[in-house]
Amino acid sequence: MGMSLLETIRSPRDLRDLNEDELRQLSREIRAFLVDAVSATGGHLGPNLGAVELTIALHRVFESPNDAIIWDTGHQTYVHKMLTGRAKDFDRLRAKGGLSGYPSRAESEHDIVENSHASTSLSYADGLAKAWELRGELSKRHVVAVIGDGALTGGMAWEALNNIAGAKHRPLVIVVNDNERSYAPTIGGLADHLAALRTTSGYERFLDWGRQRLERVPMGSPIYETLHGMKKGIKDVIAPQGMFEDLGLKYVGPVDGHDLPALERALSRAKGFDGPVIVHAITTKGYGYAPAENDEADRFHGIGVIDPMTGRSTVTSGPTWTGAFSDELVRIGDQREDVVAITAAMMAPTGLTDFAQRFPKRVFDVGIAEQHAVTSAAGMALGGLHPIVAVYATFLNRALDQVLMDAALHSAGVTFVLDRAGITGDDGASHNGMWDMSMLQMVPTLRLAAPRDGASLRQELGEALDVDDAPTVVRFPKGALPEDIPAIAREGEADILRRGENDRVLIVAVGGLVGLGLEVAHTLEQQGIGATVVDPRWVKPVDPALVTMTKKYEAVITIEDGVRVGGVGSTIAQAMRDAQITTLINNHGIPLAFLDQGKRAEILLECGLTAEHIAQSITKTLLSDSGLPIQKSTKSEFNQV
C-alpha cells in the first residue's frame, strides 16, 4: 500500500506540484487525520476543519517562511503545522514535551508569533511590514495576517486596521476567515456587516458591468467616472464591503473558503497589489465532519477526548467549578433583578448559558473585547445594576487599565468571576490564569476571593454581590469541583480548617490549593509537627486578624496557585513586616516564568507544589531556625520578616 498524499507533504513546497484532484484528495486526508488525531488528544477541532482549503491555498500562493503568515489566536493552525512537517507529532498534541496547540517559535521557522490571545495578528503584521520596509525587504517578501470574524470584534484589531489603512503604499494582505462565529455565533455590528457581504452582489462586479456598458456609448467614460465618484451612495446598497474601502483597504471577495481554485485566485490578486488588501473568505466551522456541523453551540471549537465516529465524549465527568457557578448565578438571578452578566464571546465556556436562557435580556455578549466589557460593566454599575463579568482569568490581563481606572477609580460595584484561574496546563503559557492575584493586588479598594469548594463559591459570590461601592473578584480553577471542606471555626474573615493545641506551623492555603494545604499538614503530623490550616477566603485585602494570628507560630507557610512575585504570600509577608512580626514565612506558588504545556499535576510537580516538597521545606525551615545546617531549596523562597 502506497503513501497517502499527506505523508508526502514535508514542507509547503511539496504542495505546488499537486493538481486539482490531488489537492481535493489531500483536503479529505487532512480532515480525516484531524478527526482521528484530535479525538484522541483533545484540542481545537472545529476551527481547523474549517480552515483546510484556506491553509493549503495560503501555502501554495505564498512562500513561508520567506513570506510571513501570522495567525490570529492560533488555534486554527493545526493544518498549518501538518503542511510544515509536523503531522508525525500529533500523537503528542498539547502534551508535556509534545506539539503545542498554538503556533510555537521553538517548533518551526514557519511559526512567526505565538499569539494565542485574539485580535493581535494585525498589529504584529503592521509592525513586521514596517520593519521589512525600513530594512528594504518588503519588495521581496510578503506579510499575511489571518484573522477570524470573531477576532475582528476586538478593539485592538480595529486600532491596527486604522494604522494599516493609513499607509496605502505598504503592501500587507489581511485574510478574514469568516465562519460567523468565534466560540459561538459572532455578534454585533461587524457580524451584521459581514453577513450582508455574504448575501449581496460584489461591488467590483457591478462596476465592471457598468464600465462595459457605459464605454459603448459616447461620453461613456466620463459618465462611468461620475458614477464611480458617487460610489459611496451606491455601494452601501449594492455592496457593504465599502466599509473596508472607506478605510483605504482594497477588498477582494467574498470568496468560498472551501473552493481552492477560487481562494488561490483571490490570494494571488492580493499578493500582486501594492498596498493593504483584505481577502474575505467564507468558511464553515467544523466543515466535513457531521457531528461538528450539527453542533450549533460551538461546532466543536474545543473538545476533550471523543469518539471520532459519534463526536461524543468518552470521559465521564462530575460536577465542575464552572457548573457550580452557573447554578448559583441562576438562583441569584431569580432573587435579584439588578444582577446582569457580561461575556466576551464565551457564553458557554464561562457558565452563562443557563442564565442567558432564563434571563435573555440580562446577558450581554460584547464579542472578544475584554476592555470594553469592563468599562461597559462600570457604566452599568453607575446606572444602578450589579454586573458580573465572567471571563477566563488569563483574559482579564488584557483589561487591567479598565479594572483600575474605569471600575475601581469610579467605585463601581462590578463583580469579576474568573474561571480557569491558576494552572490550566494543556493550552500552554498564555492560558494559565496565574497572573490575576499579583496583578490585582495593586488595585485600590478591590476585594478578591478565592473559594476552596462549591459551598464557599456560593457564599463568596453572594458576599461579592453585596459590595456596591468597589469592584470584587471571585476566582476558581478549571476542572472538577472538589468535595466540600468544612470549617471548624472562623477568625476574622478566615476559615480554620484544622488546628491542634501545640501546632508549630500556620499553613495559609488559597483557593484550589486548600486541599494541598491539608495534605501538607497531614504529612507534617506524621513527622511529629503540628500544623494549623486556614483558608483566608478573601485574599485581598489582607485580613488584620490573619496577620495577628501569625504571631502564635514558629513558621507561616503560604500556598497559592498564582505567581509568587507580588502574590498572596508576598502581600501577607509585607503586612507582617508592617506589623513588626518576625515569624518566619515561607511562600509557595508559581515561579515567575512562562510555563510549558502539560497536565495540571505535571506542572504543579515542576513548581514544587506537592505535599512532599512543601512539607520537606517546612522541616528545613524549622531546623534552620534552631541553628542546624540545612541546604536551601531551589523551588521555594525563605523570608524572615
Residue 343: how many other CB atoms lie within 10 Å? 27
Quickly list DSSP for 488-510: SEEETTEEEEE--TT--EEEEE-
Cα(54)–Cα(641) distance, integer angstroms: 59
Strand 386-392 and strand 415-419: the pairing is parallel
C-alpha cell read off for 408: 475601581
Catalytic residue among 94, 181, 398, 475: 398
Q: For residue 47, give the nearest of 190, 179, 186 by alpha carbon.
A: 179
C-alpha cell read off for 379: 457604566
Beta bridge partners of 255: 281
Catalytic residue among 114, 245, 293, 370: 370
Catalytic residue among 94, 235, 285, 447: 285
Question: What is the distance, to the nearest Å, from the Cα of residue 556 to the centroid of all Cα atoms in its chain?
Answer: 35
How much of the chain is in helix, strand and coil states, percent to nearest 5?
A: 45, 15, 40
Q: For residue 322, give the nearest of 395, 418, 456, 185 by alpha carbon.
A: 418
Q: What is the DSSP letter of 419?
A: E
Sole residue written with cell 493609513: 166
Cα(78)–Cα(59) distance, integer angstroms: 13
C-alpha cell read off for 149: 470574524
Strand 415-419 and strand 363-365: the pairing is unpaired
- The number of helix segments (H) and strand segments (E) in the chain equals 26, 19
Strand 538-540 and strand 447-449: the pairing is antiparallel
φ/ψ bin of 537: left (φ > 0), alpha (ψ from -120 to 50), beta (otherwise) = left
- How deeply is 232 buried, as exposed, middle or buried, from its count of CB atoms within 10 A (0-12, 13-18, 19+)? exposed
Q: For residue 373, give the nearest of 358, 387, 352 by alpha carbon.
A: 387
C-alpha cell read off for 224: 462611468
Cα(59)–Cα(77) distance, integer angstroms: 12
Strand 172-178 and strand 555-563: the pairing is unpaired
632 is a catalytic site residue: no
564 is a catalytic site residue: no
130 is a catalytic site residue: no
Cβ neighbours of residue 268 under 8 Å, at least 6 residues apart? 61
C-alpha cell read off for 66: 520567506
Catalogue the active-site residues: 285, 370, 398
